Structure 1
Amino acid sequence: MLAQRPGWAETVTDSFGLAIYGLKEGHLSDTLLHRSKRMILDTLGVGLLGTTSSVFSKVVQYSKLYNAHNTSSVWGNTAHTLSPQYAAFANGVAIHSMDFDDTWHPATHPSGAVLPALLALVETFPKKSRPSGLDLLLAFNVGIEVQGRLMRFSKEASNIPKRFHPPAVVGTMGSAAATAKLLGLDSTRSREALAIAASYAGAPMANAATSTKPLHIGNAARQGMEASFLAVLGLEGNQQILDLDYGFGAYYSDYSPSVLPHLSNYKWVLEDQNVAVKRFPAHLGMHFMADAAAGVRAKVLAKYDYLPIDKINKVTLRVPNSRYINRQFPASEHEARHSFQFNACTAFLDGSVSVSSFSQSKIHRTDLLDLLQKTHIENPPENQANFDTMYCEIELEMLDKETFIERCNTFYGHWRRPLSREDLLKKFKSNASAILPMEAVEAIIETVDNLEKVNDCSELISLLQVKESQKQSMNMTSW
């Protein structure tokens, strides 16, 4: 048993309950507000774009089966409302449908499990007492914080995962913490929400690179919210769920938890560890690979003035050993998003990777398939599967044995090289304008920029909808 600290918690689990309840607006630093607003804006954009995906269409159809109390909005269309749990589920799936959402270290997708749950929950409040933008920011950061703290209890969690997909583990806990905060649960019921959420958590990595993977984020958002609702009703779980190796520790072989800092000198994880914002919709490792391949392309063009595909003898990729992202001939968009080979060859041929790179016509084009046939993987032992320390290197060997080599240690968009505001806005506008008219896109940017000053954060939700008349004028089809 951990030694008790005066005025604080005896157990790790109690300290989390006390933190969820006790963290206040005054704990939000300028750095935290800046980073979390960037995360919110990016997540809204990728979620809106994700409503165009086939997996999103399927889960909306499914969720309508549970539409007893349709109080919460499905992003992108005023014609669809669902119960809050299933609105969170559908919007969460949209966010991860293209693997375009933010990524943290240790590895997880932090925002997608939290933001859709909070926005769906906001709409359940009476109109006269809906949370403010500052309330939303606080709850969002509490949800992010719980994920960050839990991951730091395991060194294993720092590496690219092999067994459990992290958003389905810590994301579920983050959703529970965030919704407990927004609901105003006391420390005891916040603790119970985490205990309940732990029994919802977990999804295997085997479903990576399939259309099922986006459900991991949707389920985390939905089930964390359900855990908070059940805690309100008095459901109880193990009071030491975060202390035990057969509690939350079951997800990690090296789980070593500790009590959270006292609130009087609290330091948020997000203040020390920024997130990565992706420039194209694919697994984070692909961004190292794409930047390296674009660098090799520039060297080849400088020598030949064109791409001499027929003169390439061999392409060697030196990458970390991670089986689920080693796919030489991806057959689907989801496999392509998780293929070192595909993203390397695409970036070499086109100069970059984009949303359109994952269309069936692009995946199966002849020049790409020919180059993939020449591509081989090497796993240098020092290149460990860790987003903070890994690198990707590409070497082109020509028929005359001349070689071109480029390595990427930190891609643009990584937490060590964050996107500029200009490029973040460019990404958001490109994604959101696929669904919304530009005046709504600009209004969302302004609202998020000033979120801490917004009296009723449901104003933000209303901007995420496009009316049928607007939809028709934008030549969009119904889901």
Structure 2
Amino acid sequence: MTGSAAIARPATNTPPPTATLAQQALAYRFDALPADVVELAKQCLLDWFAVTLAAADDPLVRILASDAEEEGGKPLATLVGLGTRVARLQAALINGAASHALDYDDVNMWMSGHPTVTFTPALLAQAEGNRVSGRAFIEAFIAGYETAGRAGWLVAPGHYARGFHATATIGAFAAAAACARLLGLDAERTATAFGIAGTQAAGLKSVFGTMCKPLHAGMAARAGLSAARWAAKGFTSRGDILECAQGFAATHSADFNPERALGAPPNDFHIRNNLFKYHAACYLTHAPIECVKALRLNHAIQPEDVRAIRLKIDGETDKVCNIQQPTSGLEAKFSLKLTTAFALAGVDTAALSSYSAANAGNARLARLRDKVAIDFQSGWPHTQAEMSIELTDGRHFEARHDSGVPESDVSRQGDKLVAKYRSLATPVLGEAKAEALLSAVQRLEALDSIDDLLAHAVR
């Protein structure tokens, strides 16, 4: 197409965003990181291993692993859970897809996506066999996480609203930043890595409920790892990919907020706003689930006594997790009505087995599902919900919840994550290996080599 108008971004008083983002990513030093930030990084990593191990036998993983075996390549990196060794870029793709396969991984609302699943697989793939210390790994981990928050906020909210899955797109920049830090790139080559990652960044929300959604995390990991590796070898791209005409921001969002995105993050670190999942479904279903749990606990509501349920929630959820009549376990994770019915019927929303075709088609659950009426609100926080339940005897009960508030007690959060980890990892690894991996993650900063982690992460 000729003659198309190049969209130029307005001038700002901030330094060039791509170059600034590169400099920020390279600035983290372990000794300068606050203790709670280091602990949060380890919690994110433990949660990542938990959800990745639990997906080791997922059909998605089997398909990708089989394809990697057929394709071949130098076996330098481990597939978590399976133990198979494949080429580094293949490992980043497959481990990334696996870690998002169950939709049980962490979330950051500033990124508008799932941060840890995008850069952790890339870091592990690059670190394995290269004697990367735990401290160096944590520095790169924080570089990736903070880049996810900054790059996400640069183009929010228009980017996600336009139909892009930020886990895939923003995640590519996060993975590039993490790997650039790990590889020791300078700021110029890190900006180039962003340019390489940016032209690969892709992922559409329209495929939610299919295998392509978790694939996005793997695509981001592979794009970021390849971008950093290629930039290190002299591969060229633009060094201003975020802000240039026809660049990432211009083509992917109506919003462009460099002053906000590149300034001090909330609470000084984006990782302090990380949200862990304790329900194995889309995060935007969590507030309604918590409303139901509170109403059942406080008023002893029984499913058979419910006449009607009215849910108020932000209208953006209609585009993300409002599958009306899911037929598979994967679709069930993206159904506000069915997950509400699950919670009301006492189905364990933390259990992976709850999200099955059998439950999606269960007649009793379907009757409850169809009692849910959704009143979409404009401009609400995505993580907020209000619920009213009317009983057959005429009584009404109401509850509200915001699932976007991070846990203030990092130690208490750690205890909850250890329980989640054990419930997911032990059935895959067995108790001895699961506990050994847990111990290795908890003393990550003392490890001489990240290989000590991966040795325990296979059956």
TM-score, normalised on structure 2?
0.90
Aligned amino acid, residue 436 of structure 2: A
From 71, 95, 105, give the equivalent of 2:76.
71
Aligned amino acid, residue 428 of structure 2: I
Equivalence for 1:60 = 65
Equivalence for 2:278 = 279
- Structure 2 Cα separation of the partners of residues 275 and 451 of structure 1: 19
Please tell me whether residue 118 in structure 1 is matched to residue 123 in structure 2. yes
Equivalence for 1:92 = 96
For 1:424-439, what aligned pairs fall within 5 Å after superposition?
A: 424-439=417-432
Equivalence for 1:459 = 452
- Structure 1 Cα separation of the partners of residues 347 and 265 of structure 2: 45
Equivalence for 2:310 = 316
Structure 1 runs of 4+ with >4 Å offset: 1-4, 159-162, 258-262, 265-269, 413-419
Please tell me whether residue 330 in structure 1 is matched to residue 353 in structure 2. no
Please tell me whether residue 133 in structure 1 is matched to residue 156 in structure 2. no
- Structure 1 Cα separation of the partners of residues 372 and 271 of structure 2: 38
Q: Give the 3-state SS of the residue equivalent to 2:108 in structure 1.
A: coil
For 1:408-423, what aligned pairs fall within 5 Å after superposition?
A: 408-410=401-403, 414-415=406-407, 420-423=413-416
Q: Give the 3-state SS of the residue equivalent to 2:455 in structure 1.
A: helix
Aligned amino acid, residue 308 of structure 2: K
Moved more, 20-29 or 182-191: 20-29
Partners of 2:149 and 2:270 within 8 A in 1: no
- Structure 2 Cα separation of the partners of residues 308 and 195 of structure 1: 53
- Structure 2 Cα separation of the partners of residues 82 and 145 of structure 1: 29
Equivalence for 1:448 = 441
Residues 11-44 of structure 1 deviation map (CA, whole Å, 9 limit, x = unaligned): 3222233333443333322121011111111111
Question: How has the CA–CA distance of structure 1 residues 56 and 266 changed in structure 2, closer, same or farther, with 3 Å as cutoff?
Answer: closer
Please tell me whether residue 195 in structure 1 is matched to residue 195 in structure 2. yes
Residues 77-97 of structure 1 deviation map (CA, whole Å, 9 limit, x = unaligned): 33x111000111111111000
Equivalence for 2:45 = 40
Equivalence for 1:396 = 389
For 1:4-403, what aligned pairs fall within 5 Å after superposition?
A: 11-78=16-83, 80-106=84-110, 107-125=112-130, 130-156=131-157, 161-244=161-244, 246-249=246-249, 250-258=251-259, 270=269, 273-301=272-300, 307=302, 309=304, 311-321=305-315, 322-323=317-318, 324-350=320-346, 352-354=348-350, 355-381=352-378, 384-387=380-383, 391-403=384-396
Partners of 1:147 and 1:173 within 8 A in 2: yes
- Structure 2 Cα separation of the partners of residues 347 and 397 of structure 1: 16
Q: Give the 3-state SS of the residue equivalent to 1:433 in structure 2.
A: helix
Equivalence for 2:4 = none
- Structure 1 Cα separation of the partners of residues 227 and 247 of structure 2: 16
Residues 267-291 of structure 1 deviation map (CA, whole Å, 9 limit, x = unaligned): 9853674211101211111111111
Q: Which runs of 5+ in 2 are unaligned?
A: 1-10
Question: How has the CA–CA distance of structure 1 residues 328 and 3 changed in structure 2, closer, same or farther, with 3 Å as cutoff?
Answer: closer
Count of paired positions: 443
- Structure 1 Cα separation of the partners of residues 260 and 323 of structure 2: 41
Partners of 2:21 and 2:262 within 8 A in 1: no
- Structure 2 Cα separation of the partners of residues 410 and 256 of structure 1: 25
Question: How has the CA–CA distance of structure 1 residues 22 and 379 changed in structure 2, closer, same or farther, with 3 Å as cutoff?
Answer: closer
Alpha-carbon shift at residue 248 of structure 1 (Å): 2.2
Alpha-carbon shift at residue 160 of structure 1 (Å): 6.4
Residues 113-153 of structure 1 deviation map (CA, whole Å, 9 limit, x = unaligned): 1111111111252xxxx110001101111011111111222
Partners of 1:145 and 1:270 within 8 A in 2: yes
Partners of 1:160 and 1:385 within 8 A in 2: no
Partners of 2:329 and 2:357 within 8 A in 1: yes
- Structure 2 Cα separation of the partners of residues 209 and 415 of structure 1: 28
Residues 216-253 of structure 1 deviation map (CA, whole Å, 9 limit, x = unaligned): 00100111111112112211111221222531212221
Equivalence for 1:476 = none
Partners of 2:106 and 2:276 within 8 A in 1: yes
- Structure 2 Cα separation of the partners of residues 267 and 229 of structure 1: 31
- Structure 2 Cα separation of the partners of residues 417 and 332 of structure 1: 36
Aligned amino acid, residue 104 of structure 2: F
Residues 353-381 of structure 1 deviation map (CA, whole Å, 9 limit, x = unaligned): 12221022222222101112222111234
Q: Percent identity?
A: 25
Residues 294-348 of structure 1 deviation map (CA, whole Å, 9 limit, x = unaligned): 122234526xxxx251x43222222221223122321111211111101111001
Partners of 1:189 and 1:231 within 8 A in 2: yes
- Structure 2 Cα separation of the partners of residues 2 and 289 of structure 1: 40
Q: Give the 3-state SS of the residue equivalent to 1:242 in structure 2.
A: coil
Alpha-carbon shift at residue 430 of structure 1 (Å): 0.7
- Structure 2 Cα separation of the partners of residues 290 and 299 of structure 1: 14
Partners of 1:51 and 1:94 within 8 A in 2: yes
Aligned amino acid, residue 422 of structure 2: K
Q: Which runs of 5+ in 1 are unaligned?
A: 5-9, 467-479
Equivalence for 2:8 = none
Aligned amino acid, residue 398 of structure 2: I
Question: How has the CA–CA distance of structure 1 residues 417 and 55 changed in structure 2, closer, same or farther, with 3 Å as cutoff?
Answer: farther
RMSD: 2.5
Moved more, 291-300 or 133-142: 291-300
Residues 34-61 of structure 1 deviation map (CA, whole Å, 9 limit, x = unaligned): 1111111111111110112111111111
- Structure 2 Cα separation of the partners of residues 270 and 110 of structure 1: 13
- Structure 2 Cα separation of the partners of residues 108 and 91 of structure 1: 17
Aligned amino acid, residue 286 of structure 1: T
Q: Give the 3-state SS of the residue equivalent to 1:112 in structure 2.
A: helix
Partners of 1:85 and 1:120 within 8 A in 2: yes
- Structure 1 Cα separation of the partners of residues 69 and 303 of structure 2: 53
Alpha-carbon shift at residue 442 of structure 1 (Å): 1.3
Aligned amino acid, residue 103 of structure 1: V
Q: Give the 3-state SS of the residue equivalent to 1:195 in structure 2.
A: helix
Partners of 1:433 and 1:441 within 8 A in 2: yes
Aligned amino acid, residue 357 of structure 2: Q
Equivalence for 1:471 = none
- Structure 2 Cα separation of the partners of residues 333 and 178 of structure 1: 33
Alpha-carbon shift at residue 416 of structure 1 (Å): 6.0
